[in-house]
Chains A and B, each alone.
Chain A
Amino acid sequence: MATRKPLPPRDESAPDVVVVTGASRGLGRFCAERLHEAGYRVVGLGRTVVTDAPFEMRETDVSDPESIAAAMKDLRRDPNVYALINAAGIASMNLVVTTPPETVRRIVETNLLGTVFCCQQLAPALIKRGSGRIINFSTLGVPLAIKGEAIYIASKAGVEGFTRVFARELAPYGITVNAIAPGPIDTALIAKVPRDKVDAVVKQQIIQRQGTPQDVWNIVSMLLSAESAMVSGQTLHVGGV
């Protein structure tokens, strides 16, 4: 009778692995650097492999399941994988009626499908481990319904719905799934957004200060901690709404 090969034991002396998508820039890069500093082994995924990152980078198109599968092939069976942070995202401010179909497709494929595909690929590693964290990224724009961001917000609303359901599916395995919804953080994503538009959003936050990458990292750090084991399926709004 064929016997099942035992899973490789987790190497307690090795650092936990955190996979970060969108790690070549923006919030993904910021979080990946903080994770690296905190002692995690970081595997960053990005369409562009930056050479100045202090962590490992792998070229990946998150909208392509085969690209993700290739990038995560070894990680899917790595017992030290602890968390996935889906920070890859693109935006395009435009009215719905003037947004080209290809742009619509790219935004949904990167923001929503990319999150789904990465979760599909890495969840088995966390299930085998019996614990773990998945952190997705939404936007404060979902509850605020900001004009001109319909496609972006639609994709992120999808991420929030996915997060709630996936949290239920993974709860039996000790895995939490949450989303962080920042307002306008000063990154390349909003570099072309006029100042008055940014200020208008900030004024709608409970805490009327523009958030920083550090504010986002503080929440990521909290969600990664063992103490957050009872927080799942939630969307945490940076600045409040």
Chain B
Amino acid sequence: MPTGYDEIESFLRDEVSSLTGLPAEAVTADTVLVGNGRVVDSADLVMLLLAAEDFSRDQLGAHFDWASDSAMSEARSVLRSVRSLATHLSQLAPAP
């Protein structure tokens, strides 16, 4: 059964909780990852992105290119929050 948005969001929330030490219930879809109010520092963000890259490949069969222009663009960043990142991952096309 394909991995859906809910599972992806759950995975990301668990990762953020694990990286930051925040209680699991304190990490939500609205938890901010970059910019004002972020809960992860730059080192944790890299680890989160590495985990998301592995998850995308292993669970979604897709390639998450987190250095792409669209992923890293300040205005359109998919890294704004857990929700935006989960949404982006859920919309990735399967790798050829």
Q: A4 contacts B50, CB within 8 Å?
A: no
Question: How many angstroms from the CA of A127 to the CA of B49 in the assembled complex?
Answer: 11
Query: Which residue of B3, B15, B43 contacts A4 across the interface (Cβ within 8 Å)?
Result: B15
Query: Which residue of B10, B11, B58, B67 contacts A120 across the interface (Cβ within 8 Å)?
Result: B67
Query: Which residue of A2, A7, A124, A127 contacts B59 across the interface (Cβ within 8 Å)?
Result: A2
Q: B10 contacts A2, CB within 8 Å?
A: yes
Q: Give the B-binding residues of A (Cβ under 8 A).
A: 1-5, 7, 77, 120, 124, 127-128, 169, 172-173
Q: A2 contacts B50, CB within 8 Å?
A: no
Q: Taking CB as reference atom, which chain B residue is nearest A5? A: B58
Q: Which residues from 41 to 59 on chain B have a C-beta closer than 8 Å to any C-beta of chain A?
A: 42-43, 46-47, 50-51, 53-55, 58-59
Q: Taking CB as reference atom, which chain A residue is nearest B58? A: A5
Interface CB pairs A-B, < 8 A, 14: A1-B7, A1-B14, A2-B59, A4-B15, A4-B55, A5-B55, A5-B58, A124-B50, A124-B53, A127-B47, A127-B50, A128-B50, A172-B43, A173-B43
Query: Which residue of A2, A77, A124 contacts B55 across the interface (Cβ within 8 Å)?
Result: A2
Question: How many angstroms from the CA of A77 to the CA of B42 in the assembled complex?
Answer: 21
Number of interface residues of B (CB under 8 A): 19
Q: How far in angstroms is the closest Cβ of chain A from B92?
A: 15
Number of A-B contacts (CB under 8 A): 35
Q: How far in angstroms is the closest Cβ of chain B from A113?
A: 13
Q: A1 contacts B53, CB within 8 Å?
A: no
Q: How far in angstroms is the closest Cβ of chain B from A107?
A: 23
Main secondary structure, interface of B, reads: helix
Query: Which B residues touch A169, using CB under 8 A?
Result: 42
Q: Taking CB as reference atom, which chain B residue is nearest A7? A: B54
Question: How many angstroms from the CA of A4 to the CA of B50 in the assembled complex?
Answer: 11
Query: Which B residues touch A173, using CB under 8 A?
Result: 43
B50-92, CB under 8 A of A: which get 1 and which 0?
1101110011000000010000000000000000000000000
Q: Taking CB as reference atom, which chain A residue is nearest B18? A: A4
Those 8 A-B pairs whose CB atoms lie nearest each other, nearest first:
A2-B7, A5-B58, A172-B43, A2-B11, A1-B10, A124-B50, A2-B59, A120-B67
B1-30, CB under 8 A of A: which get 1 and which 0?
001000110110011000000000000000
Most buried by B among A2, A7, A172: A2
Q: Taking CB as reference atom, which chain B residue is nearest A65? A: B67
Q: Known: A127-B46, A172-B43. Is A4-B51 also a contact (CB below 8 A)?
A: yes
Q: A4 contacts B54, CB within 8 Å?
A: yes
